[in-house]
Amino acid sequence: MTVTVPSPRGNIIDGFGYAKGLRERITTQVAALKADHGLTPCLVVVIVGEDPASQIYVKNKGETTKAVGMESRTITLPATTSEADLLALVAELNADKAVNGILVQLPLPEHMSSLKVIDAIDPLKDVDGFHIQNVGKLSVGLEAIVPCTPLGSLMLLKDAIKTHGNGSLSGLNAVIVGRSNIVGKPMAQLLLNENCTVTVAHSRTQNLAEVCRSADILVAAVGRPKFIKGDWVKDGAYVIDVGINRIDTADGKSKIVGDVDFDAARERATAITPVPRGVGPMTIACLLNNTLHATRLQHGIAAPQEA
Ligand code: NDP
C-alpha cells in the first residue's frame, strides 16, 4: 500500500503536555467516581529493597497519584524479604476491597521470581498489565489492563497521526525495535489491534537499518543511546522513542537521551517524541488511567464515553 504522508517534517510529539491533559481528565473522572459512587481509587505500590532509582520512581508515583485525587499507599519491604512473605502480602492486598491497584516495583531481588509474584496479583488489580491473564486478553482482543508504556506510546501516536496525518493507523507498516514483555511485545499487539502491519525487530534481526527504513511507524525500545540513526528513518515516518538512557556529557555531568538519534531522525520524521518529555511522562499518567480503569472494572462501572 502507498502511504501519503503530508509535510512538514520534524514535528515534536509533546508527551509532557499530553500527559498533563490526561492527568486533568483523570482528576475530573476520579471526582465523578467519588460523587456518583462514593469510591476513591486506591493504588498500592510495593517496593522490595533500597534501589535508589526505584525509590525515586515510587516517590513520584505516590505524589502524582495523590495529585489526581486517588489514595496512594507505599509499602517498603527489606531486600531480605522472602518470596513467601511477599506473596502473602500480595494475597492480603488482593483480599482488601479498599485496594484497587497493586503494583510491585520491578526489578525484584534475585531470590524472587518476578513472574510468580506478578501472577499472584489479582488480574483486576494488576495496574501494570503484566499478569498473564491481561497479556492473554490483550492478545485475543478482549478488554484488558494494558501495560502503561505501550499504552501511553499508542495514545501519543494516535494523537500525532490525527494532528499531522489522516488520523488512521490502519494499514501502516509499524516496526518495533525491542521485544521485551513490558514494552516491545505489548506494543506490537496494540499496533496489530489497530490494523498495522507489524514487524518486531531484536538483537538477532538482520539488516536492521533496512527493516527500520520500511517503517511508517517506528518504535524504539532498545535501551541503547541514539542507537537508531537518522538515515534509518523513512521520510515522513512517525517515531516513538521509548528509550531512557543516561549518558555522560563533556562538562562532566550527565543527561538523559533516547534510543533514537533525535536531531538526525527529526529531519526525516513527520513527528517524533523527544527524550525527555516524550513517552516517559505518559507512563505514570497511564498508570493512573489503569488504576481508574481497574476500579471501574472491579465495580462494574462503565467508563464515560470520552474516556
Ligand atoms: P529490555 O532490555 O528488556 O529489551 C531491549 C530489547 O532491545 C530486547 O528485545 C533486545 O533484543 C533489543 N536489542 C538490544 N540490542 C539490540 C540491537 N543491537 N539490535 C536490535 N535490538 C536490540 O528493555 P525494555 O524493553 O525494558 O526497555 C527498553 C528501553 O525503554 C530502555 O531504554 C528503558 O529504559 C526504556 N523504558 C522506558 C520507559 C518509559 O517510561 N519511557 C518504561 C520502560 C522502559 P533481544 O530480545 O534479542 O535481547
Supply the pLDDT for residue 305: 73
Catalytic residue among 14, 126, 128, 261: 128
Tell me if 241 is assigned to some domain. Answer: yes
- Spacing, Cα 223 to ligand 1 middle (Å): 4
25 phi/psi in degrees, rounded to 5: -65, -40
Residue 190 sits in a domain of what CATH number? 3.40.50.720
**Same domain as 122, residue 225:** no
Q: Does a structural domain hold residue 105?
A: yes
**Is 105 annotated as catalytic?**
yes
Distance CA 287, CA 191 (A): 20
Calculate the alpha carbon distances from 154 to 18, 95, 225 in Å: 12, 32, 22
Atom of ligand 1 nearest to the CA of 243: 32
> Residue 174 — φ and ψ, nearest 5°?
-115, 130
Cα 178 to averaged position of ligand 1 atoms, centre (Å):
5
pTM above 0.85, yes or no: yes
**Amino acid letter, residue 104:** V
pLDDT of residue 306: 62
How many domains, the chain? 2
Give the domain CATH number at 92: 3.40.50.10860
Structural domain that includes position 199? 147-280
Q: Is residue 119 assigned to a domain? A: yes
**Cα(143)–Cα(271) distance, integer angstroms:** 29
Q: What is the pLDDT along the chain (307 residues), one digit of tens a residue?
A: 555 545 599 999 999 999 999 999 999 999 999 999 999 999 999 999 988 878 888 888 999 999 999 999 999 999 999 999 999 999 999 999 999 999 999 999 999 999 999 999 999 999 999 999 999 999 999 999 999 999 999 999 999 999 999 999 999 999 999 999 999 999 999 999 999 999 999 999 999 999 999 999 999 999 999 999 999 999 999 999 999 999 999 999 999 999 999 999 999 999 999 999 999 999 999 999 999 999 999 999 999 876 4
Closest to 2 in 3D by CA, of 166, 177, 160: 166
64 belongs to a structural domain: yes
Query: Quick check: 260 and 219 in contact, CB under 8 A?
Result: no
User: Which entry of 29, 105, 189, 216 is annotated as an active-site residue?
Assistant: 105
Is there a single domain that holds both residue 123 and residue 202?
no
Say if residue 91 is in the same domain as residue 161. no
Retrieve residue 98's grid coordinates: 479498599
> How far does residue 180's CA lie from ligand 1's centre (Å)?
6
Ligand 1 pocket: which residues have CB below 6 Å?
Answer: 149, 177-180, 182-184, 201-205, 208, 221-224, 242-245, 279-280, 283
In a domain, residue 63? The reply is yes
| Residues 69, 29: Cα–Cα separation, whole Å | 10
**Does some domain include residue 291?**
no
Supply the pLDDT for residue 307: 46
Does 61 participate in catalysis according to the annotation?
Answer: yes
Catalytic-residue membership of 189: no
Where does residue 256 rank: exposed (0-12), middle (13-18), buried (19+ CB within 10 A)? middle
Residue 305 in domain: no
The SS3 call for residue 132 is helix
**Do residues 81 and 113 share a domain?**
yes
249 in any annotated domain: yes
Residue nearest to atom 3 of ligand 1 (CA): 180
pLDDT at 1 (0 to 100): 58
Residues 200, 92 share a domain = no
Bridge partners (DSSP) listed for residue 12: 272
